[in-house]
A and B are shown apart, each in its own frame.
Chain A
Amino acid sequence: MRVVIAEDSVLLREGLTRLLTEAGHEVAAVAGDGEGFLRAVAEHTPDVVVVDVRMPPTFTDEGLRAALVVRDRWPKIGVLVLSQWVEERYATELISGRPHGVGYLLKDRVADVAEFLDALTRVADGGSALDPEVVAQLLARSRHPLGELTPREREVLALMAEGRSNAAIADTLVVGGGAVEKHINNIFTKLGLAPGDRDHRRVLAVLRYLGT
């Protein structure tokens, strides 16, 4: 995969570049601010971009706004937003209307290299990756009652919202694929959602349901 990185901290920029290169990806360009990043994306048209939320000059949500521009202008490019903290509101803005090829993770998750690379690949392929903390916030702020769901079904719902595939959910919960399938169908029935065939459509349904 070809990747463009936007990150103002030199330390993290170098670290990410090394990590991705070692994993066999190509880092086409790195940028330290929103404008430089957008120029690099226009020039290299990568498969996926990794963007830090907080960047100069404002050090507020520069990166998020740049990510939204990429999402709208180049729909084929996956956008993975990294942040020192995660907020349900940012996730909502990022995902609204199009939860394909977007991800929003805590920077900490980079430390678990394999999971991070998995999420990046998922985003590049048009899937989604939401941080468990964001999902927890979404569930807490849900505008619908989740009371009818069993605890296990809630776990499955959370993992689905994170953008995980059935196989990944089965692995995480240490159950068989059939059991996961059953849980998912129950969730869709209880919540009155049309079951979807593809992963990202499921995520879309879940996120719609959670009120994004």
Chain B
Amino acid sequence: MFLIRDLVSARTWLAMTQHLSGLFLGFVAIFIVTFGLGFGFGGLFFALAGLPLLGVTVRLAHWFARAERARFALFTGARIPAWPAPGAPGRVGFRSGIIPRWRTWSEGATWAELGYALLRLPVSAAAATISVTTWAVGLILLLLPAYGAAMPSGGPTIGDTVIRGTHDLAASVLLGLLLLLVAPQLTRGLAVADGALARRLLGPRRDLAARVTELEISRERVVDAAEAERRRIERDLHDGAQQRLVALAMELGRAKARFADDLDAARELVDQAHVQAKEALTELRNLVRGVHPPVLTDRGLDAALSGLAALCPVPVDVHVDVPVRPKSSVEAVAYFMVAEALTNVAKHSRASHAKVVVEGHGYPGTLTVMVSDDGIGGADIAGAGLSGLADRVSGVDGRMSVESPSGGPTIIAAELPCG
């Protein structure tokens, strides 16, 4: 039943349109790309005049690829993910807008798009020929009884045999019917195959897709980490400074009430309030440092880390060699990594000594951060602190490793790309 329905279904005829329009577009594309590449590369031998022509050709091939993705979406419903445009993140751009850079020619995307433009014509030609022929032969055979008798020899001839008579005609009609039933499936099947080819050439490589998945996961983790951080700040403010200020206001309120009759008691209450106020200040200061230390922005890692080391109860050697300041997001991750690692050193390691080494390599290059101690080891990598740290590191595309055999020592290291 569906075989008959498919004869008139929109999908079938859209697929046919796909083949026929591909034929036309392929003709234009092959002409432009052959001409562009031929004269472009040929032109290189005489002067550099070929370069802009090559640039235009690569651009045109890219625009053609974009148009093709739209055409596939329209006629076959297939969605093909796009390569980035030349010059967009992930793809090499052009010098002064039109002259291709050397690296353009080592990009898979460039060759895939050019190759696709060349392949469009032969592929569409084959698909269109097969589809149209099947339909046409089917119709011719099916309708043979209607016009066969009117032909000069009384019917079409195969060699010396003339096809006429009930028996021959019945076979012809049956064969025509069969071909017509097959034709829609063939037309659609070829469109699907065409789509697969286009996806292979026009869709990004699989490693790119894997990278997208990885980025999606890491983005999610960074968002979660930020959320957890916000909750921590809220909790710290609520349990710390806010409670102290409440207590302070209370003491002052009581002191106010006492001033009239009991001066000594009032004075004592004011003293207590004074202490509360100072403790609230200390807590707020530590909280601010934990959120983002101002000195990190003003003076960079060396200054900020030496402040951090001074606050650590375990003696810490700090060695910072960063010739060029990395961008602030990388600095912040390095800072918080050292902060978290030193907190762990102080809390769990029972170490007598810790060492922080931060080095910048190349420009923009990478920043390596290492925190080691001579403690008992056994750090919990899955714990909130270290896993949160790993999330932050992956948020800037860095890699972190934790070595902490039980018995020690513990070494936490990270490599952060600065570019």
Contacts and interface: CB of A to CB of B under 8 A. Distances in A.
A85 B310 contact: no
A89 interface: yes
Interface in A108-150: 108, 111-112, 136-141
A84 B307 contact: no
B276 to A, nearest CB: 11
Contacts of B297: 60
Interface range, A side? 20 to 34
A54 B281 contact: no
Contact of B288 (A84, A88, A138): A84
B277 interface: yes
Interface in A29-55: 54
Contact of A85 (B294, B315, B318): B294
Contacts of B278: 108, 111-112
Interface of B: 274, 277-278, 281-282, 285, 288-289, 293-295, 297-299, 302-304, 306-307, 309-312, 315-316, 318
Contacts of B302: 89
A85 B309 contact: no
A140 B315 contact: yes
Given A136-B310, A137-B310, A111 B295 contact: no
B312 to A, nearest CB: 8
Contact of B295 (A87, A108, A138, A141): A87
Contacts of B289: 85
A141 B303 contact: no
Contacts of A112: 278
A61 B303 CA distance: 14
Nearest to B274: A111
A35 B297 CA distance: 22
B310 A108 contact: no
Interface of A: 54, 60-61, 84-85, 87-90, 106-108, 111-112, 136-141
A140 B309 contact: yes
B285 A141 contact: no
B318 A87 contact: no
Contacts of B298: 60-61
Contacts of A89: 295, 299, 302-303, 306-307
Contacts of A136: 310
Most buried by B among A61, A85, A139, A140: A140
Given A54-B294, A60-B297, A60-B298, A111 B277 contact: yes
Nearest to B282: A108
A192 B295 CA distance: 33
Contacts of B312: 140
Nearest to A109: B278
26 contacts: A60-B294, A84-B288, A84-B294, A85-B285, A85-B288, A85-B293, A85-B294, A85-B295, A87-B304, A88-B303, A89-B299, A89-B306, A89-B307, A108-B278, A108-B285, A111-B278, A137-B306, A137-B310, A137-B311, A139-B310, A140-B306, A140-B309, A140-B312, A140-B316, A141-B309, A141-B310
